[in-house]
Structure 1
């Protein structure tokens, strides 16, 4: 028992290490994809450092001449002015390369994240706010890692190395002083970076929690007001916002501490260099140009280190963001067969199918068997939580059965990729989600390559044309996000038009007439009967009117079929 107790605390530490390793692996793999652009940015930065060293040498010669050690030459002044322009051009080109690398990395990661979320579909248990935070906030936080941190880390090695080499050539002891100063910078960064990484991860967790809470509360605002919970929710939101403020200020404090350490090392290096060449002021220095050059090389050597320090918190923020993003992008690639073409009809067979989401909970489905032929409709009825939606999710490929067998035309559905299973079906849910677009564009969502004639034919079959004629621009009338501007029945007809346009052999309906008045429900049912003709249809409903208009009715309770009969 004592051994077990001593081993338990190590598990969270192992999980943290595993998450950190996954985050670093994600960042490294993404950086490899931008290797060419980042290498070009580093090359431009290196050229800029070489130009700065040449400027320091010419400036040292010019200042030494002005102090009376040699004759001033106008050529040196002209060369310095030309190098300033060259350095500015190199800096602009380097910034553009870094920006391009960051933008390309973010675009690639966002595409992968969206693909992973689309592939998971409703099976992904994350809240909407958390998904939005992953795709937007977390990926945006990675920009600095590629656009600033990686080039700055490379130049923080090359820049001081070149400056130390030049200082050593001018005066070996000055080169040693500068080398010691620049080597102490990573040590100071390491001490502050550990706290920065932890603080950044906690800040992102607080931001994600606040984003999710805000979005969920906004969506549930009517219920909050109805139950008079607005004051309590406002207080909880304020507490979450204050927690985010505290964590953000902690990240900033760590960043300021890092900058302070760097400036202290810079001041110490400059002071030591000035003490070394103090004889320059008395006129007894053996090599005034070398003395001035060594002094000028201190800011040249520390300029890349300043950029490194400024970007250091970008690395910490990126690791914190990648820790949450890596599990989503590490989702194993789905394997399975691809369909050469969509079959004209589908026979659906469930053979003793069971579905269990959690070993500690009762099964969602248990020993479910049925067969639905083309042109036949199966209506699933029963109380909420009986398992109706679970059957539809299995048929859409969003869940896999825990036991039993699902066959499509006699072949295992599990052998197909989940996306291929979804290609076989058209779905109409309780509430049609319409996007901010025209009615025609919302219908075409079911088949983006469809012609205008096909979209209009689907609109006629679903009786969308009946109400579209009274709109200002017919099917080209713009509707708002969520179907703003259309009634519930009209939006549902648009969803049915999508199913007509998709023309899939399997039709899945989940409470398609919920929230509709009896008159509108009857009109929608007429469209659904035309849609179901010749197709294999599986429908979940609570409505007696819907069940009475279709074929077989099977009742579910607690995940099991209890009877099979017409609606009484």
Structure 2
């Protein structure tokens, strides 16, 4: 069984360490509360030892010691509850920060990230959730496992040096035993999360394609495949649990040995003659307290192993720079001239170039229709203009200036985009339109809805634009959903309009209804339209035929 590559392990450790440093102020609270709880336990054990010694006829103790021990017990419980809450808050804060960063990276990558949707959702959900125990339990437990037993051993050594030495030796043996039993735990945990990610990704993708599976009678085969993936996850999970069980068993063996040694050391307490019975009882009572932080450390040990596996998958995503270098726009220009000069683009050398020596110019108020078969490079042109990829050669200019000098997000600020199928969220129609510009006023949202003819069908709905729709536009037809997407483009109001098969999957009648809205959207703006539609090619004046990434002669519609 091979170990994870050193580079991946190092990047995972770097990610966890950096996140821990950012949240050290939150992590300090549960550690300080834990130390306070250990101090309360020491004082409580001291009072209980004197009470027990008095009951055995050695020394004197009364109600004051009893009430002091009871008060310290209540205080220890309160500190424990506060510690649990502080740990949960520290873990939640770390996960929220990581999830925000991961989501930002995925949004920055956009279509350039070729991972399946299920795998990406697994990264921001399952992998980050697996890091909760590292920040909420493992890190506080690791500090307390070092500081707590050391404090207890020092106090016990003050009462009886030999007992303190026994505790010191036992404390040194615990990490050695856990290291021996923990060999391969990180790899097992990583494999478990790989299996979980594969299962969740496959399940999400198949649920989305359920109608197609039923149509082609593949539901039984996919059910069996999901069952095999679930069984693989079960095996991986049981392997991680076995490692965690062995780690806990090692600790219990050491604790039993220490208790036996101290019982032998202070055994003459039972027959009399012990020089300090209260000290002997105190030493025995502190054995559970000594191992309590170590037990918490052992219980959280598998959290560290799981975190290493999860962080190894997250590190490549989060290790990218916050933003690519480039210039920022001081303001959005009112008009844009788009120029391609011998632009080349290659995604994969094995598949050949996506674009080769492509040249054209589009002026403000002009619409260029990119036509050609699938794979001819139409969508690649739009990706370049939105900053999701960079050209390998040639020059892309906006208003005469190099577009690649701008940050990718600045390129996206210049454009309004309508794709083949608008993704609508479970919210009102109004809120889905407002996503294009959240700060827009109600009047601006309604004006965009009218321009895209959304109000034509929304007026017949129970609550108009405030009508709730389901995830993916459930409750609206394909044409109505595209109208909402066009309304977003109207509301965004950018000088560059990019349309990628905006009327695909629509019947001719619905397509004809949308053409008027699209023409109004492109009026006065620079528009580039990738389409197979003959209706769109006829409606807009200029067509550029693409074939295998190369441009034919530009021509006017109808030629």
Tell me which of 424, 429, 441 is aligned to 2:414: 424
Tell me which of 144, 159, 163 is aligned to 1:155: 144
Q: Separation in 2 of the partners of 1:503 and 1:93?
A: 52
- Correspondence 1:274 to 2:245: no
Q: Separation in 2 of the partners of 1:567 and 1:369?
A: 22
Tell me which of 419, 424, 431 is aligned to 1:434: 424
- Correspondence 1:185 to 2:174: yes
Distance apart, 1:194 and its partner CA = 2.6
Could you give the per-residue CA deviations for residues 45-101 of structure 1, whole angstroms, max 9, x where no partner exists?
111111111111111111111111122322111110111111112112222221111
Partner of residue 60, structure 2:
71
Tell me which of 319, 328, 349 is aligned to 1:338: 328
2:247–2:298: 8 Å Cα contact kept in structure 1?
yes
**558-567 or 172-181, which deviates more:** 558-567
Q: Calculate the aligned-residue CA RMSD, in Å.
A: 1.3
Q: Separation in 2 of the partners of 1:258 and 1:342?
A: 60
Alignment of 1:263-412 (within 5 A): 263-332=252-321, 333-412=323-402
Q: Would you say how many aligned residue pairs link Structure 1 and Structure 2?
A: 557
Could you give the per-residue CA deviations for residues 473-500 of structure 1, whole angstroms, max 9, x where no partner exists?
1111111111111111111111111111
SS in 2 for 1:165: helix
SS in 2 for 1:107: helix
2:338–2:397: 8 Å Cα contact kept in structure 1?
yes
1:433–1:483: 8 Å Cα contact kept in structure 2?
yes
Alignment of 1:41-80 (within 5 A): 41-80=30-69
Partner of residue 531, structure 1:
521
Partner of residue 184, structure 2:
195
Could you give the per-residue CA deviations for residues 352-382 of structure 1, whole angstroms, max 9, x where no partner exists?
0000112232001111000000111111111
Tell me which of 12, 17, 20 is aligned to 2:9: 20
1:553–1:567: 8 Å Cα contact kept in structure 2?
no
Distance apart, 1:567 and its partner CA = 4.3
2:342–2:394: 8 Å Cα contact kept in structure 1?
yes
Q: Separation in 2 of the partners of 1:43 and 1:459?
A: 57
Consecutive aligned runs of 4 or more in structure 1 exceeding 3 Å deviation? none
| Residue segments in structure 1 that go unaligned for 5+ positions in a row | 1-8
Q: Separation in 2 of the partners of 1:202 and 1:521?
A: 49
Tell me which of 106, 115, 118 is aligned to 2:107: 118
Tell me which of 244, 253, 256 is aligned to 1:255: 244
- Correspondence 1:556 to 2:546: yes
Q: Separation in 1 of the partners of 2:121 and 2:183?
A: 28
Q: TM-score, normalised by structure 1?
A: 0.96
SS in 2 for 1:213: helix
Partner of residue 5, structure 1:
none
Q: Separation in 1 of the partners of 2:30 and 2:277?
A: 36
2:50–2:60: 8 Å Cα contact kept in structure 1?
no
Partner of residue 3, structure 1:
none
Q: Separation in 1 of the partners of 2:34 and 2:468?
A: 50
SS in 1 for 2:171: helix
| Residue segments in structure 2 that go unaligned for 5+ positions in a row | none
Q: Separation in 2 of the partners of 1:422 and 1:72?
A: 78
Could you give the per-residue CA deviations for residues 440-467 of structure 1, whole angstroms, max 9, x where no partner exists?
1111111110000001111111111111
Distance apart, 1:141 and its partner CA = 1.0
Q: Separation in 1 of the partners of 2:434 and 2:191?
A: 43
Q: Separation in 2 of the partners of 1:175 and 1:425?
A: 72
Partner of residue 81, structure 2:
92
Q: Separation in 1 of the partners of 2:282 and 2:454?
A: 80
Q: Separation in 1 of the partners of 2:483 and 2:26?
A: 50
SS in 2 for 1:449: coil
2:368–2:541: 8 Å Cα contact kept in structure 1?
yes
Could you give the per-residue CA deviations for residues 122-158 of structure 1, whole angstroms, max 9, x where no partner exists?
1111111111111111111111111111111011011
Distance apart, 1:551 and its partner CA = 1.5
Could you give the per-residue CA deviations for residues 204-255 of structure 1, whole angstroms, max 9, x where no partner exists?
0110111111111111222222222222211111111000000000111111
Q: Separation in 1 of the partners of 2:408 and 2:290?
A: 56
Partner of residue 164, structure 1:
153
Could you give the per-residue CA deviations for residues 232-280 of structure 1, whole angstroms, max 9, x where no partner exists?
2111111110000000001111111111111111111001111111111
Distance apart, 1:284 and its partner CA = 2.2
Q: Separation in 1 of the partners of 2:59 and 2:482?
A: 89
Distance apart, 1:34 and its partner CA = 1.3
